[in-house]
């Protein structure tokens, strides 16, 4: 796979992920639920 193809695939995957996240957020908002995940940043904290 060429460099251009890799970038296109990465962009496409990011766009799909962003769309899915937006859809879930809108569903939660419509249902009156919080978009909150307890300890979601734990893996990024470097504590483990």
Mean pLDDT of 21-36: 86
pTM higher than 0.85, yes or no? no
Question: What integer pLDDT is reported at residue 31 of this predicted model?
Answer: 93
User: Is 33 within the bounds of a domain?
Assistant: no
Boundaries of domain holding 17: 1-28
Residues 6+ apart with CB under 8 A from 35: 24, 25, 28, 29
How many structural domains are present in the chain? 1
Res. 1 pLDDT band, cuts 50 70 90: low
Q: Is the dihedral of CA 36, 38, 42, 45 positive or negative?
A: positive
User: Is 44 within the bounds of a domain?
Assistant: no
């Amino acid at each position: 796979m060429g460099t251009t193809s890799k970038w296109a695939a990465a962009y496409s995957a990011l766009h799909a992920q962003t769309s899915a996240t937006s859809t879930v957020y809108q569903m939660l908002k419509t249902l009156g639920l919080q978009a909150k995940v307890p300890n979601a940043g734990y893996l990024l904290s470097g504590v483990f």
